């Protein structure tokens, strides 16, 4: 939680771009206090490769200013001990921070059982009829976060995102991958070994109406 603005500063970019831009941001501005007090144009110049640099800079600085005003420091460390609902409530109050970003913070930063739904996961869930065709990404998140067993949320999320990037969300290949996992296979064709846990997902995640 040392860099609370990371998800916002690099959202809607590729992994390579996000890592490069965040590394550049940390090098140019080693502390979030520096990000808060620096001229917006200086920050925009550093993260311009991400796109929407002006919007992202404005939102990150606004969040940092709120944190500084409310807590006297640019840190979200206090959320480590907060409940999932409290974390969602606090992060959701910041402009530009959506369900996916919050879920990623919960899973990757706080090591909580949550299931982020990005574009890849959403499209795959729709194609596999895990949710109705009209389900929005937020509805898909609410549904899958409730249905996917906690013990496989991390592994399944990583598998689906990786599949989406490598196979462009091709459902036929995904079904073959899931069957491969179910049969006890150890390698994803052309890729590193996937988690074995997704076997249970076919039993637990069923097509049904979302709330």
| Catalytic residue positions, numbered | 100
* Residue in the structure block whose two tokens are 């959506």: 98
Distances (CA, A) of 207 to 96, 129, 141, 152: 31, 5, 14, 18
Residue closest to 91 by CA, chosen among 10, 173, 165, 4: 4
* Residue in the structure block whose two tokens are 């600085």: 61
């Amino acid at each position: 939680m040392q860099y609370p603005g990371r998800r916002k500063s690099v959202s809607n970019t590729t992994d390579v771009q996000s890592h490069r831009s965040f590394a550049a941001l940390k090098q140019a501005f080693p502390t979030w206090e520096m990000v808060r007090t620096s001229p917006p144009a200086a920050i925009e110049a550093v993260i311009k490769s991400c796109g929407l640099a002006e919007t992202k800079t404005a939102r990150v600085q606004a969040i940092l200013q709120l944190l500084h005003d409310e807590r006297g420091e640019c840190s979200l460390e206090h959320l480590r001990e907060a409940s999932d609902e409290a974390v969602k409530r606090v992060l959701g109050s910041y402009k530009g921070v959506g369900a996916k970003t919050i879920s990623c913070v919960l899973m990757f930063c706080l090591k909580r059982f949550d299931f982020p739904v990005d574009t890849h996961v959403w499209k795959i869930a729709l194609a596999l009829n895990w949710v109705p065709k009209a389900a929005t990404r937020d509805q898909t998140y609410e549904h899958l976060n409730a249905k996917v067993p906690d013990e496989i949320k991390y592994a399944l999320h990583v598998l689906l995102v990786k599949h989406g990037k490598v196979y462009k969300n091709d459902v036929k290949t995904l079904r073959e991958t899931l069957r491969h996992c179910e049969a006890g296979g150890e390698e994803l064709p052309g890729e590193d070994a996937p988690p074995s846990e997704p076997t249970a997902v076919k039993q637990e995640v069923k097509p049904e109406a979302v709330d």
